[in-house]
Structure 1
Amino acid sequence: MHKNLSRVQIKSADKGQVSAVFATFNVVDKDGDVTLPGAFEDGAEVLISSYQHTSWQGALPVGKGVIRTTDKEAILEGQFFMDTTAGRDTFEVVKQIGARQEWSYGFDVIDAESGMFDGQDVMLLKKLKTHEVSPVLVGAGVNTRTLAVKSQKEAARVNPATAYNAAIRPHETRVTTKRWNGAEVVAELPGDATIDDLRAVHAYVDPSKDPTQKTAYRFPHHHGVGGEANLRACLIGIAVLNGAKGDHGLSDPERKAVYDHLAQHLIDADRDVPELKAELGGALKYHEEAADVMARLDSLIERTSEVMALRRSKGKALAAPSIDLLEWIYEDTRTLRSLLDTPQEDAHREFARFIAANLTTGE
C-alpha cells in the first residue's frame, strides 16, 4: 500500500541528506486514516524510492535512511545516492521543487482496526511495516514537510545528533540586519496563525504548552511568516542562551538545539558565531560582551514599552528617575557612535552596509 503525504519545506544543499516528516499522528488524513503513535518502528531502515514510487516497478532506489519518531510525527533521516545519476537527479528535483514537494510512503499493515475519531468513521493504523519513502506529485497527509537537506558546510558546523524535540530545526532563508523588535514582530502575527506559521518565526516551542498559542514559542528571529531571519535577533538569542537575561530555563540539549538553529543563520551569512558557553556567567570576548549588552537593551526596550503602556492606561507618566536613567543610556549609546565616527570606520561601515544590502536582496 502507498500513503501520500503533502506539505514540504526544503533547504537547498548539495550533500544529498534529507530530513522529512512523512507521517503525523492522531489526525485524519485524506484517505480517512488515523496513524497512531507507535505505528512506526523507531530506527527502522527504509529505502528512498525513485520518483512516484517507481522502484516498485523496477526503477532503482535513489537513497536510503532510517525512521525517527516523536510523540507527534515520524521523520525520515535519509541519504540520497549522490554517486548515481538517479540519486543526484531525484535529489535535485526535490531541492528545486522546494515547498511544493510532496512525499509518500509504501507500507504493509501489521495491525489496524475500524473506529471513530473526532466523530468520523476511520481506519486506525496501529502498526505498519514501512518499505520505502518516495517524493511524489500529489499527497494526502496533514502537516508533513521536508525539514532539511544539508550541505557539507552545515554538516560540519551543526551536530546532527542534537535533540530537536522542542527546538525547531535549522533551515536556510534570507537574512537581514535591519532594526529588530521581537515584541512587535510577535504582536503583529495574526490571531489565526497556524502552528507552521508560529514555527516559521521562532526557534523554540515549549513542549508543555499548547503549540497553537503564541505563548508557547520563544526566540523569535524572523520578520513574520516567510520573512528574513534577523541577524541581530540571532545574536541576541545566543546571548540569552549564554545568560544575558539570567536563567533561560532550557535543558542542555534544548539549549544546544536552539543555538544550532540561530547559529546556522549566522553561518549562512558568513558571520562569526559567538561560542555557546559551557556555563552561564563565564568570561566574554569583546564581541560577545557587545551581543550581551544588545540582548539586555532589547529586554529593556520591551520592558519599557510595557511599563509606559501600563502607566498611560492609568493616566500617569514614567517616573522622573526612570526617565533620567533612559536618557543616560541614550547618551552612552551616542558616545559609542562617536567612537565609530572616523573616516576609516565610516568606510568600513559603508562596506558592511553594502554587504548587508546584498544579503537582504539576495543579489
Structure 2
Amino acid sequence: MDTKGLRVEIKDADKGLVTAVFATYNKADSDSDVTLPGAFEDGAEMPISAYGHTSWEGALPPGKGRIRTTSKEAILEAEFFMDTAHGIDTFKTVQRLGKLGQWSYGYDATKFSYGEHEGKRVRFLEALKVHEVSPVLLGAGVNTRTLSAKSGAPGVAPRRGRALAPHDSEVTSRSWDGAKTIAGLADDLRPSELRTVFAWMDADADPEAKSSYRLAHHHGVGGPANVRACLMGIARLNDPAKGGIPDADRAGVYEHLAGHLRDADIEPPELRTQPGGSLKYAEEGHAVLAAVSAFVDRTAEVVALRALKGKGMAPRSAELLDWIDADLQRLKALLSTPLGVDDPSEAEIASLFARSVAQLNGM
C-alpha cells in the first residue's frame, strides 16, 4: 500500500463537505512517480479513514469520498458524517488546522511501468486502486495543488497490521538466495519499491531502510515471487521463535505468501495457530530448507568477517560444515536409489535431513 498527499479545501462547513485537487497528471512528484490520465476510476467511492490512517487499525471511518476526474487532474469530493461524534470531531479538527493539516490517500498501483521523464527515471502510474483517504499530521508539498510525499512520521503508512498487502505477481521456482537479493537492492529505493520485495515491515522503523523489512521473497523490485522463498517464509511463521514476526501480523503475512503459492497452483502449508506438534513430511522439509538457507547466509557472513581479519573458518566450525555436507550427501544417495519395501519412508528421510541441521542452533 502506498500513500500520496493532497490539499483539502472546505466546500460546505455545515454539511461537512470538502473538495480537493489531489493529483495532477503528467507531473513527477517527490517519489519520482508520474500519474497518467486515466489512472483513477472516475466515480470510485472510498471511506475517509480516521486521523493518520488509523481506520486500518479499527478506528471508525468519519466519512466517505468520491473521485471525479478531468483531463488534467483528479478531484476528491468528500463528506464527513456530521451526525456522528467522530465525524464532527474529525471535520472540525481539519477545519481548524487549515493549511497546517494535510491529507493523504492509500492506494495499490495495479498497473505501472518504469521509464524516463524530463531526464529522470520515474515510475509511471497507469492504474490505481484507491482504498481510503485520511487527514494526516504532515504531508510534503510538490505544488499548490498536489502533495505527493509519504504522509506522517516514518513508518505510519497505511497497512494491514504490519503485514504488507497481498498483490498479484509473476511466480518462479528457480533457486533463491535471500541475502544476495537483499544486498542487491539499491540503498536509495523508495518505500513503495521496497514493499514490492518483502512481506512485512516494521511500522516503527525507517521505511526507507532495507533493515525495516523482513521475509524477502521477490527477485528485486517488482520482480517475480519465488516459490521457495514463500514456502520458507511460511515455515518461519510456523516457528515464532525464529520467524521474528509479531503474532498480530502472522495471519496477514501468511496470506501474502500463500497468495503467491496459489498463483503457482501450489497448495500452501497451513498456518499453525500454536507451536509444537508433529509436522507433515512437506512441512518438515520446508522448515529444514528455511534453516539451511538461514545457516548458509550466516556462514557467508562469518566467512566474510574472518576473511577481513585474514583468517579462515575455525577448525571446529569447518568440521561441523563437513558433517552437514556428509549428511546431505547421504540424503542425495538415498534419493537416487529406488526405494524398496525395506527402504526408509519419506518421513524417515525427512527426519534424517532434519537431524543433519539440528546442530544449527548451537553455532
TM-score if structure 1 supplies the norm length?
0.57
**Aligned-partner residue type, residue 281 of structure 1:** G
Residues in 1 aligned to 2:34 and 2:238: alpha-carbon distance in whole angstroms: 33
Residues in 1 aligned to 2:317 and 2:69: alpha-carbon distance in whole angstroms: 65
- 1:151-162 matches, within 5 Å, as none
Structure 1 residues 255 and 8: alpha-carbon distance in aligned structure 2, compared to 1, 3 A threshold: farther
Q: Alpha-carbon deviation of 1:39?
A: 11
Residue 324 of structure 2 is aligned to residue 305 of structure 1: no
User: Does the 8 A contact of 1:24 with 1:74 survive in 2?
Assistant: no
Among candidates 165, 169, 190, match of residue 161 of structure 2? 165
Aligned counterpart, 1:180: 176
Structure 1 residues 276 and 52: alpha-carbon distance in aligned structure 2, compared to 1, 3 A threshold: farther
Residue 3 of structure 2 is aligned to residue 3 of structure 1: no
Structure 1 residues 95 and 184: alpha-carbon distance in aligned structure 2, compared to 1, 3 A threshold: closer
- 1:220-235 matches, within 5 Å, as 220-235=216-231
Residue 329 of structure 2 is aligned to residue 334 of structure 1: yes
Residues in 2 aligned to 1:251 and 1:309: alpha-carbon distance in whole angstroms: 31
Among candidates 272, 280, 290, match of residue 285 of structure 1? 280
* Larger RCO: 1 or 2 (CA < 8 Å, sep 6+): 1
Structure 1 residues 340 and 104: alpha-carbon distance in aligned structure 2, compared to 1, 3 A threshold: closer
Aligned counterpart, 1:360: none
Residue 273 of structure 2 is aligned to residue 255 of structure 1: no
User: Does the 8 A contact of 1:166 with 1:254 survive in 2?
Assistant: yes
- Provide the secondary structure at the position in 1 that maps to 2:241: coil
Residues in 2 aligned to 1:169 and 1:4: alpha-carbon distance in whole angstroms: 23
Residue 127 of structure 2 is aligned to residue 101 of structure 1: yes
**Aligned-partner residue type, residue 44 of structure 1:** G
Q: Alpha-carbon deviation of 1:96?
A: 7.2
Q: Alpha-carbon deviation of 1:233?
A: 0.6
Aligned counterpart, 2:345: none
- Provide the secondary structure at the position in 1 that maps to 2:302: helix
Q: Alpha-carbon deviation of 1:283?
A: 2.1
What is the number of residues matched between the two proteins?
A: 255
Aligned counterpart, 1:359: none
- 1:130-169 matches, within 5 Å, as 140=146, 142=148, 164-169=160-165
Residues in 1 aligned to 2:252 and 2:177: alpha-carbon distance in whole angstroms: 23
Structure 1 residues 207 and 121: alpha-carbon distance in aligned structure 2, compared to 1, 3 A threshold: same
Aligned counterpart, 1:156: none
Structure 1 residues 211 and 119: alpha-carbon distance in aligned structure 2, compared to 1, 3 A threshold: closer
Structure 1 residues 183 and 239: alpha-carbon distance in aligned structure 2, compared to 1, 3 A threshold: same
- 1:61-100 matches, within 5 Å, as 73-75=104-106, 99-100=125-126
Structure 1 residues 322 and 39: alpha-carbon distance in aligned structure 2, compared to 1, 3 A threshold: closer
Structure 1 residues 194 and 39: alpha-carbon distance in aligned structure 2, compared to 1, 3 A threshold: closer
**Aligned-partner residue type, residue 271 of structure 1:** I
**Aligned-partner residue type, residue 171 of structure 2:** V
Aligned counterpart, 1:152: none
- Provide the secondary structure at the position in 2 that maps to 1:301: helix
Residues in 2 aligned to 1:22 and 1:102: alpha-carbon distance in whole angstroms: 16
Q: Alpha-carbon deviation of 1:281?
A: 2.7
Structure 1 residues 104 and 285: alpha-carbon distance in aligned structure 2, compared to 1, 3 A threshold: closer
Aligned counterpart, 1:204: 200
Structure 1 residues 8 and 206: alpha-carbon distance in aligned structure 2, compared to 1, 3 A threshold: farther
Residues in 2 aligned to 1:321 and 1:253: alpha-carbon distance in whole angstroms: 40
Larger Rg: 2
Q: Alpha-carbon deviation of 1:282?
A: 3.1
Q: Alpha-carbon deviation of 1:122?
A: 6.5
Structure 1 residues 337 and 72: alpha-carbon distance in aligned structure 2, compared to 1, 3 A threshold: farther
**Aligned-partner residue type, residue 337 of structure 1:** K
**Aligned-partner residue type, residue 142 of structure 1:** S
- Provide the secondary structure at the position in 2 that maps to 1:246: helix
Residues in 2 aligned to 1:20 and 1:282: alpha-carbon distance in whole angstroms: 46
Residue 318 of structure 2 is aligned to residue 323 of structure 1: yes
Structure 1 residues 184 and 72: alpha-carbon distance in aligned structure 2, compared to 1, 3 A threshold: farther
Deviations 1:128-157 (A, max 9, x none): xxxxxxxxxxxx56269xxxxxxxxxxxxx
Percent identity over the alignment is 36
**Aligned-partner residue type, residue 210 of structure 1:** D
Among candidates 44, 69, 73, match of residue 63 of structure 2? 44
Structure 1 residues 339 and 207: alpha-carbon distance in aligned structure 2, compared to 1, 3 A threshold: same
Deviations 1:199-223 (A, max 9, x none): 1110111011110111101000011
Q: Root-mean-square deviation (CA), in Å?
A: 4.7
